[in-house]
């Protein structure tokens, strides 16, 4: 009887540690301050700019220029794609995460989970020009 309960305690302990690690990880991701210039702009430059710059097809079709902060915040000719503080409804995040019919980058390799997380954190932290 005694042996059984100490084994059970051991499992409870393991579970607690696993929970603690997960919570710490989520907390660390949320609290890391994302920089537009340092983190976000390089992703846009490498993965989006070939189409979303002045004479690119992405601008021709949607009006969305991703050359700088102003262009990103202005959005498409239909309206903004970033809702500061809310990555859940921001079209930028919806598209790169593949949550809609269209996915960006258009017909190209999707962003890595890490890049997706950077864009999500940046929007959730207020989409600042930092």
> Which residue ranges make up the site for ligand HEC (CB under 6 A)?
47-48, 50-52, 57-58, 61-62, 64, 76, 78, 81, 91-92, 95-96, 102, 104-108, 111
Residue closer to ligand HEC by CB (options 27, 78) is 78
- HSE-CB for 61 with a 13 A CA cutoff: 6
- HSE-CB for 56 with a 13 A CA cutoff: 16
Residue closer to ligand HEC by CB (options 95, 125) is 95
What is the closest distance, in whole angstroms, from the C-beta atom of residue 130 to ligand HEC in the complex? Answer: 19
Residue closer to ligand HEC by CB (options 24, 45) is 45
What is the closest distance, in whole angstroms, from the C-beta atom of residue 122 to ligand HEC in the complex? Answer: 12
Comparing C-alpha atoms, which of 90, 93, 91 is closest to residue 43?
A: 93
Residue closer to ligand HEC by CB (options 92, 125) is 92
The alpha carbon of 99 is separated from its chain's Cα centroid by a whole number of angstroms, namely 12
What is the closest distance, in whole angstroms, from the C-beta atom of residue 7 to ligand HEC in the complex? Answer: 50
Contact yes or no for 124/87 (Cβ under 8 A): yes
Furthest-apart CA atoms within the chain: distance in Å? 76
What is the closest distance, in whole angstroms, from the C-beta atom of residue 10 to ligand HEC in the complex? Answer: 46
Q: How far is CA 77 from CA 22, 62, 71, in A?
A: 41, 6, 11
């Amino acid at each position: 009887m005694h042996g059984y309960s100490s084994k059970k305690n051991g499992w409870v302990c393991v579970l607690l540690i696993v929970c603690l690690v997960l919570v710490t990880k989520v907390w660390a991701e949320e609290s890391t301050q994302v920089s537009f210039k340092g983190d976000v702009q390089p992703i846009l430059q490498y993965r989006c700019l070939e189409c979303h710059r002045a004479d690119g097809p992405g601008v021709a079709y949607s009006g969305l220029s991703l050359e700088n902060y102003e262009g990103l915040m202005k959005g498409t000719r239909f309206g903004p794609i970033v809702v500061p503080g809310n990555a859940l409804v921001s079209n930028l995040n919806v598209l790169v995460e593949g949550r809609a019919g269209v996915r960006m980058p258009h017909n190209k390799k999707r962003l890595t989970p890490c890049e997706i997380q950077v864009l999500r954190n940046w929007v959730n932290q207020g989409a600042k020009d930092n």
